[in-house]
Structure 1
Amino acid sequence: MPTMVAETARSKENRTPGVWTRLLHRPLALIGLAVIIVVVGAAALAPWVVPYDPHEQFFEGLTIEGAPLPPNSQFWLGTDLVGRDLLSRLIYGARTSLVIGVVANGIAVVIGSLVGIAAGYFRGWVDTVLMRFTDLMMAFPALLLAIVLAAIFTPSLWIVAMVIAMVNWVQIARVVYTETRSIAERDFVTAERAMGAGAGRILFRHILPHLLSTIIVWATLGIATTVLLEATLSFLGIGVQPPIPSWGNIIFENQTYFTSAPWLVFIPGAAILALALAFNLVGDALRDVLDPTQQGRH
């Protein structure tokens, strides 16, 4: 028995570097991972890396006509319509977008996974109730439902995160439900039931491990969707409210200067696009690496 335990431990240790090795051999995944590390690092170190207070208004940050300054040696990304440093607000805005992305998507993944596993395994009335409720939620356009919920509650950082989580869990619930039904019908699950194994053992020892790759991939890809949805809500004025900076409300505040100062819209828009694309690249690579059917194909 000790020998078997030792061999199992060694096999786990050997598998872990293999996953990272396959992931690190994908150039696009490395690019996405580098972007994520840079954004997360800048957001975490924001108080120490920003050149100015993101709320400070500079008289020299506006032209004589009162227009924002373009990128220059003092303000690297220029200033906004009230003379605030755009780079400082962009870095602090990354904090807001990442917090909402991680928190909202984490809640959505947990809710969706629990609903999908319960409905897919227990079937019967549990399946009917949970999946019909999921279908009802999917019948509403996600953005429209988020707008309605955000308008009902007083917008704040955590309210926006909860609103996004409430509209984003349905997709992963559907995916997990379908996979759980498929796994629950396999021979090894049937054999476990015949041997008297309880639902808890089957779910945690046999079904959940097969779902982990799907859940991890959806958790990664979902952050990109969440960041985009937060930016959309903030752009519409019902997301995170000023003076708290977020990439969406930076665009919202400066949209009137789109033609005369396009960097005020283009730069935060490019940041949103880059972060969403980075999470998509990493999520796609994780799907290939963690899916056992893909191993050996690359």
Structure 2
Amino acid sequence: MSQTVVETGASVNAPSVMARLLRRPLALTGLVIIAAVVLAAAFAPWLAPYSPYEQFFEGLTIEGAPLPPSTQFWFGTDLVGRDLFSRLIYGARTSLVIGVVANGIAVAIGSLVGITAGYFRGWVDTVLMRFTDLMMAFPALLLAIVLAAIFRPSLWIVALVIAMVNWVQIARVTYTETRSVAERDFVVAERAMGAAAGRILFRHILPHLLSTIIVWATLGIATTVLLEATLSFLGIGVQPPIPSWGNIIFENQTYFTSAPWLVFIPGAAILALALAFNLVGDALRDILDPTQQGRH
């Protein structure tokens, strides 16, 4: 019985999935952008021409305004004479760390809540899903602002705050899927044979949800990156002088008309990374969704 159950689960063959992703132009574009940002973040000390905190006297005009892009400062300088290109590269680290860590925590919490409520039903279902509904009733951005204002903002606090407001969607999805899978014959048979709840959840139900969780995890990173940028732009995210793409815009917004590159360049980076994860997530959804098999 166990062997049959495992074989009927939704398998995720990583090499096959990657090969199919690479055959999709939009997904390939997204993967290239993500790879470029990851490599830039990983090798920031070697790629950045200057320290992200170093201020240059020659980085400002006589009037004290930022310099436009040049051969010395590729993306120009910010309002205190720091190299914008270097700060963008180091800022990629912040955005990726928060995106991956916060979204990873959110996916773990949401999946655990959804699977537990969907399988055990009864009062467990009622308590967990009513709490999920309560969290969904609050606008995510407003709740994040409140939580960020309560706690002292830092890299890890911002990641935790974002995770606390982003787990509800994946909880709802996994809850619905778990209720459906829990009614199937092989799960009913396992219960009748006296299998422990943990064995049923992790050996038979979770494999069927794995593709859904992977897709939501990928799409969720884009949402997380945008939310971090929003919080940093509002001044309650990652605090300067630590560079993040959101607080770069926040710091330089007063020069929007006279030095627009200070806003447009980090804004374009945020947009490109969020779009890249969305493109990959959409492709994964089509590839891993059994109803889409054979259509591409």
Task: Tell me the TM-score normalized by structure 2.
Answer: 0.94
Match in the other structure for 2:198: 200
Q: What is the CA distance between 1:115 and its match in structure 2?
A: 0.1
SS of equivalent to 2:133: helix
The counterpart of 2:271, out of the listed 270, 273, 296, is 273
Helix, strand or coil for the counterpart of 1:79? coil
State how 1:210-229 maps to structure 2 within 5 Å.
210-229=208-227
User: After superposition, what is the alpha-carbon deviation per residue over 1:3-33, rounded to whole angstroms, capped at 9, x for unaligned?
Assistant: x9xxx9xxx99x5532222111111111000
Residue 155 of structure 1: aligned partner: 153
> Which residue number corresponds to residue 103 of structure 2?
105
Task: Kindly provide the CA deviation profile for residues 57-83 of structure 1, in whole angstroms up to 9, marking residues without a partner as x.
Answer: 111111121111111111110110111
Correspondent of 2:71 among 70, 73, 81: 73
Distance in 1 separating the partners of 2:154 and 2:192: 52
Once the two structures are superposed, what CA deviation does each residue of 1:214-238 show, in whole Å capped at 9, x if it has no partner? 1111111111101000000000000
The letter for the 1-side match of 2:213 is I
In 2, the alpha carbon distance for the partners of 1:63 and 1:17 equals: 53
> 1:19 & 1:55 partners in 2: Cα distance?
41
**Within 1, Cα distance between the matches of 2:87 and 2:54?**
10
Tell me whether 1:61 sits opposite 2:59 in the alignment: yes
Partner Cα separation in structure 2 for residue 262 and residue 275 of structure 1: 20
* Equivalent position of 1:282 in the other structure: 280
- In 2, the alpha carbon distance for the partners of 1:93 and 1:84 equals 13
Query: What letter is aligned with 2:278?
Result: N
Alpha-carbon distance, 1:201 to partner: 2.3
CA 1:26–1:64 in 2, change beyond 3 Å: closer, same or farther? same
SS in 1 for 2:77: coil
2:262 is the alignment partner of 1:237: no
In structure 1, C-alpha distance between the alignment counterparts of 2:157 and 2:182, rounded to whole Å: 37
* 2:44 maps to which of 36, 46, 57: 46
Amino acid across the alignment from 2:139: P
Measured after TM superposition, the shift of residue 245 of structure 1 is 0.5
Question: Residue 292 of structure 1: CA displacement?
Answer: 2.3
Percent identity over paired residues: 88
Runs of 4+ with deviation above 3 angstroms: none
Q: Secondary structure at the match of 2:237?
A: coil
* SS across alignment from 1:72: coil
Code of the residue aligned with 2:113 in structure 1: it is V
Question: What does residue range 132-211 of structure 1 map to in structure 2 within 5 Å?
Answer: 132-211=130-209
> C-alpha displacement at 1:97, in angstroms?
0.7
Distance in 2 separating the partners of 1:135 and 1:291? 26
Aligned to 1:96: 94
Partner residue in 2 for 1:19:
17
CA distance in 2, matches of 1:128, 1:40: 41
AA in 2 matched with 1:85: D
Counterpart selection for 2:261 from 260, 263, 279:
263
Aligned residues: 288
TM-score, with structure 1 as normaliser: 0.94
* Root-mean-square deviation over aligned CA pairs: 1.5
Q: What is the distance in 2 between the residues matched to 1:42 and 1:18?
A: 27
Aligned residue in 2 for 1:131:
129
- Higher RCO (CA-CA < 8 Å; seq separation 6+): 2
Shift of 1:289: 1.6
Q: Per-residue CA shift, 1:35-71, capped at 9, x if unaligned?
A: 0000000001001110111111111111121111111
Q: Which runs of 5+ in 2 are unaligned?
A: none
What amino acid sits opposite 2:215 in the alignment? V
Note the residue ranges of structure 1 that are not aligned, 5 or more in a row. none
